[in-house]
């Protein structure tokens, strides 16, 4: 269950590359009723350490208060930071909605913006591989089985560089594919070139910060 905080914690933001990305619509693979927005993002180890530093003080305060309330030392759940190729994967998510005790349904969305902070058009899909700035709020929770932990609740995503269909040249290489003669998407131009042309005529880890 979530811990009732005296106030919402400050927003934390970081820049990286989206890896698993469901921000336009929630994924319903594991949460069939309302789904879950996800933006698991690969950042440099330096950025990951800065995010952990911002979390540290509020984490320790929330843990202290919950420990005093329970009257015993608490087990610590794994943190949403995982070693990844190219740096650290920071896991972020947000429930697609909730059903209140009175039966009323509340649906949630993730705010999406382009590099100039304009709202992203509804028909623009944000894929894995996109360069993004992610903003989150920490939400602390405790269960007897898992212990004390924190969820990085997704608030907004700013798209700095939009991936094409969620696949990159590196992803193609992973399938054993190499460049060949034939059809080239966007007439051989990169997405940036296309946009420019249009303008002229986006493991377990314990709580050890």
CB 156 within 8 A of CB 108: no
The C-alpha torsion from 99 through 13 and 133 to 126, rounded to 10°, is: -10
Task: Establish if 195 belongs to a structural domain.
Answer: yes
Mean pLDDT of the chain: 82
Q: What is residue 8's predicted lDDT score, i.e. its pLDDT? A: 72
Q: What is residue 140's predicted lDDT score, i.e. its pLDDT? A: 95
Task: Establish if 3 belongs to a structural domain.
Answer: no
User: Closest Cα to residue 89, out of 141, 167, 171, 16?
Assistant: 16
CB 74 within 8 A of CB 66: yes
Task: Establish if 26 belongs to a structural domain.
Answer: yes
Residue 146 sits in a domain whose CATH number is 2.40.50.140
Q: What is residue 208's predicted lDDT score, i.e. its pLDDT? A: 60
Range of the domain at 75: 12-200
Q: Which of the given ranges, 3-17, 153-167, 172-186, 195-209, has the highest pLDDT on average?
A: 153-167
Q: What is residue 184's predicted lDDT score, i.e. its pLDDT? A: 39
Q: What is residue 4's predicted lDDT score, i.e. its pLDDT? A: 45
Task: Establish if 205 belongs to a structural domain.
Answer: no
pLDDT at 171 over 50: no
CA distance 192 to 162: 9
Give tens-digit pLDDT for 16-63: 999 999 999 999 988 889 999 999 999 999 999 999 999 998 999 999
Share of the chain above pLDDT 70, in %: 75
Task: Establish if 157 belongs to a structural domain.
Answer: yes
Torsions phi, psi of 159, nearest 5?
A: -90, 115
191-206: average pLDDT: 44
Task: Establish if 7 belongs to a structural domain.
Answer: no
* Number of separate domains in the chain: 1
Task: Establish if 98 belongs to a structural domain.
Answer: yes
User: Closest Cα to residue 80, out of 29, 4, 12?
Assistant: 12
Give tens-digit pLDDT for 140-169: 999 989 999 999 999 999 999 999 764 444
Give tens-digit pLDDT for 106-118: 999 999 999 999 9
Task: Establish if 129 belongs to a structural domain.
Answer: yes
Give tens-digit pLDDT for 121-142: 989 999 999 999 999 999 999 9
């Amino acid at each position: 269950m979530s811990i009732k905080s005296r106030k919402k914690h400050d927003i934390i933001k970081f820049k990286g590359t989206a890896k698993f990305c469901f921000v336009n619509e929630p994924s319903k693979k594991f949460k069939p009723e309302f789904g879950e927005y996800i933006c698991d993002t690969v950042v440099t180890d330096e950025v990951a350490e800065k995010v952990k530093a911002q979390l540290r003080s509020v984490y320790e305060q929330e843990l202290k208060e919950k420990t005093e309330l329970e009257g015993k030392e608490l087990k610590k759940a794994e943190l949403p930071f995982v070693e990844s190729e190219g740096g650290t994967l920071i896991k972020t998510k947000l429930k697609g909605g909730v059903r209140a005790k009175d039966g009323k349904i509340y649906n949630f969305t993730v705010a999406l913006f382009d590099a100039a902070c304009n709202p992203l058009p509804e028909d623009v899909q944000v894929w894995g591989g996109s360069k993004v700035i992610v903003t989150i709020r920490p939400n602390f929770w405790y269960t007897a089985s898992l212990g004390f932990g924190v969820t990085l609740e997704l608030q907004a995503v700013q798209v700095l560089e939009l991936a094409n269909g969620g696949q990159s040249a590196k992803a193609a290489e992973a399938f054993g594919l190499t460049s060949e003669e034939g059809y080239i998407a966007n007439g051989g131009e990169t997405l940036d070139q296309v946009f420019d042309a249009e303008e002229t005529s986006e493991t377990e880890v314990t709580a050890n910060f």
